[in-house]
Structure 1
Amino acid sequence: MQVIDVHPPLTAALVPSQPIVLALGFFDGVHCGHQAVIARAKREADQRGLKLAVMTFDVHPAVIYRGVAADQVKYLSPRPRKIELMADCGVDLLYFVHFTDAFAALKPQAFVDQYLVGLNAAVVVAGFDYTYGKHDIANMQTLPRYARERFAIITVPKAVAGGQKVSSTRVRKALDEGDVDLANHLLGYRYQTSGTVVHGEARGSTIGYPTANVQAPANERIPGIAVYVVRLKVLGHWYPGMASVGRNITFGPGRPVTVEVNLFAFHQDIYGEPVRVEWVHRLRGDMMFDSAAGLVKQLGQDEQDAVAYLKELTD
C-alpha cells in the first residue's frame, strides 16, 4: 500500500495516472461500519480492474470545525495504526489530506472538483452520513449535483449492532466506560494501543505481581479505569496477561492514571521497549483494599479468571 500526504492544494504529481475507486471518510478506528464502506469500494475496484484508494485526514475534523484543541483529541487509530488497518482492508492508495484552514474553507463544489475529480475518481464510495462541508448542503444526497455525472456514486447504508448505529463515537464511549467487549464487537477486532515500557514505582514486584508500566502516546485513547485481560506484544512476541488502568488508590489518593500490565510467567527485562497492548476482556472495576494483602488476594483471583478466559478463546 502506498501512503501519500497531501498538503493542500493537490498537486498534479500526486494524481494517479489511471482512474481509481475512491472511498471517503475519517475512519477513526476503522470499525465495522468503516470496513463495510471500504469492502464495498474494494468490490467495485476489483470489478472494474482499478486501484482502491482511500482519502482521509491528518487530524480529526473537529479540530478545524469545532475548535477542539489538537492535543486534546484521543484517537482510536492514530496514523500508524490507521495505516495498518487500511492495509489489512486491501487498500492500494491511502491519501492523508492535511486539514488546513484553507482546505476546511473549500466550498462543496470546489472540494468535489479539486479532490474527487482531481484525484481521477471513476467511482466515489462513502457512508450514508458522510459530509464534506456543512451537513445540510454537502452530504451524500447532494453529491450528484456537484459530481455532474463525472463519476459514479455509491452510498453505503449504516451498519447496525444491538439496534444502534455502529460509530466511532459509540466505540469511544464503550472504551471510556471500560466496556472493551462491546468496543471490540463494534470494531470487528480486538482494540490495540501502543506505548513504551517505563519505570514506575516498582510496587508490583514487592507483592509478587511485577508489572510493565506502559506509557501510551498522548493522542491515543486508553480504555477506562478497570482491570482487563490483555495480550502484550514485546520483542516480537505476544504474551498473555492482565492489565490495570487506574490510580492505585489502595496506596494513596491523588495518583495519576497508569497502565500496568502483569504478564504471566514472564521474567525478561523490557524497560524502554516499545509494546502493543491488545485489550481482550474486562475483568472487573477498580477496587480499594484495606491492605496490600487484600490486593494480593484479589490479584490471584484476577489471574485465575484471566487465564480461564484466554483458555476459552483458544479451545
Structure 2
Amino acid sequence: MEVYDILPPLDGSMRPTAPIVLALGFFDGVHRGHQEVLRQAKAQATARGLHLAVMTFDVHPAVIYRHVPAASVHYLSPRKRKEALMANCGVDLLYFVHFTPEFAALDPQTFVDQYLVGLNAAVVVAGFDYTYGKRAVANMARLPEYAAGRFDVITVPEALADGEKISSTRIRQALDDGNVDLANRLLGYHYQTSGPVVHGEARGRTLGFPTANIDTPAVERLPGIGIYVVRVNVGGRWVPGMASVGRNVTFGAGRPVTLEINLFDFHDDIYGQATQVEWLHYLRGEVKFEGAAGLIKQLETDRAASLAYLKEHRD
C-alpha cells in the first residue's frame, strides 16, 4: 500500500495516471460500517480492474470545525494503526489530507473538482452520512449533481448492530464505559492500544502480581477505569494477562490513571520495550480495599476469571 500526505491544495503530481475507485471517510477505528464501505469499494475496483484508494484526514474534522483542541482528541485508530487496518482491507493508495482551515472552507463544487476529479476518481464510494461541507448542501444525495457525470457515485447504507447505527461515536462511548466487549463487536476485531513499558511503583511485585506499566500515548483512547482480560504483544509474542486501568485507590487518593498489566507466566525484563495491548473482556470496576490482603484475594479471583475466559475463547 502506498501512503501519501496531501498538503492543500492538491498537487497535480499526486494525480494517479490511471483512474481509481476512491472511498471517502475519516474512518476512525475502521469499524464494521467502514469495512462495508471499503468492501463495496474493493468490489468495484476488482470488477473494473482499478486500484482502490482511500481519502481520509490527518486530524478529526472537529479540530477545525468545532475548534476542539487537537491534544484533547483520543483516537480509536491513530495514523499508524489506521494504515495497518487499511492495508488489511486491501487498500492500494491511502491519502491523508491535512485538514487545514483553508481546506475546510472549500465549497462543495470546488472540493469535488479539486480532490475527487483531481485524484482521477472513476467511482466514489462513501457512507450514507458522509459530508464534505455543510450537511444541507454537501451530502451524498447531492454528490452526483457535483460530479456532473465525471464519476459514478455509490452510497453505502447505514450499518446496524442491535438496531442501532455502528459508529465511531458509539464505540468511543462503549470504551469510555469500559464495555470493550461491545466495542469489539462493533469494530469487528479486538480493540488495541500501544505504548512502551515504563517503571512504576513496583508494588505489584510485593503483592505477588508483578505488572508491566504501559505508557499509552495521549492520542490513543484508553478504555475506562476497570479490570480487563488482555493480550500483550511484546517482542513479536502475544502474552495473555489481566490489566488494570485505574488510580490505585487502595493506596491513596488523587492518584493519576495508569495502565498496569499482570502478564501470565511471563518473567522477561521488558522495560523500555514497545507493546500492543489487545483488549478482550471487561471483568469488573475498580474497588478500594482496606489493605493489601483484600486486594491480593481479589487479584487471585481476577486471575482465575481471566484464565477461564481465555480458555473459553481460545480461538
Matches of 1:265 and 1:126, distance apart in 2: 46
The aligned runs of 1:206-221 (5 Å cut-off) are 206-221=206-221
The residue type paired with residue 263 of structure 2 is L
- Offset of 1:183 from its aligned partner? 0.1
The residue type paired with residue 274 of structure 1 is A
Matches of 2:219 and 2:314, distance apart in 1: 32
* Residue 110 (1) aligns with residue 127 (2): no
* 1:152 corresponds to: 152
* Residue 124 (1) aligns with residue 101 (2): no
Identity among equivalent positions (%) equals 69
The aligned runs of 1:171-210 (5 Å cut-off) are 171-210=171-210
- Offset of 1:91 from its aligned partner? 0.2
Query: SS of 2:149's equivalent?
Result: coil
- Offset of 1:127 from its aligned partner? 0.1
The aligned runs of 1:87-106 (5 Å cut-off) are 87-106=87-106
Matches of 2:69 and 2:116, distance apart in 1: 28
* 2:168 corresponds to: 168
Aligned residue-pair number: 315
Query: SS of 1:53's equivalent?
Result: strand
- Offset of 1:13 from its aligned partner? 1.2
* 2:277 corresponds to: 277
The residue type paired with residue 299 of structure 2 is L
Query: SS of 1:124's equivalent?
Result: strand
The aligned runs of 1:52-67 (5 Å cut-off) are 52-67=52-67
Matches of 1:156 and 1:84, distance apart in 2: 23
The residue type paired with residue 44 of structure 2 is E
* 2:258 corresponds to: 258
Structure 2 unaligned residues grouped into runs of 5+: none
Calculate the aligned-residue CA RMSD, in Å: 0.6
* Residue 298 (1) aligns with residue 294 (2): no
Matches of 1:71 and 1:288, distance apart in 2: 31
The residue type paired with residue 190 of structure 2 is R
Query: SS of 1:26's equivalent?
Result: coil
The residue type paired with residue 128 of structure 1 is F
- Offset of 1:144 from its aligned partner? 1.1
The residue type paired with residue 252 of structure 1 is G
Which stretches of structure 1, 4 residues or more, deviate above 2 A after TM superposition? Answer: none
Shifted more, 10-19 versus 180-189: the winner is: 10-19
Structure 1 unaligned residues grouped into runs of 5+: none
Matches of 1:149 and 1:196, distance apart in 2: 50
* 1:14 corresponds to: 14
Matches of 2:119 and 2:305, distance apart in 1: 52
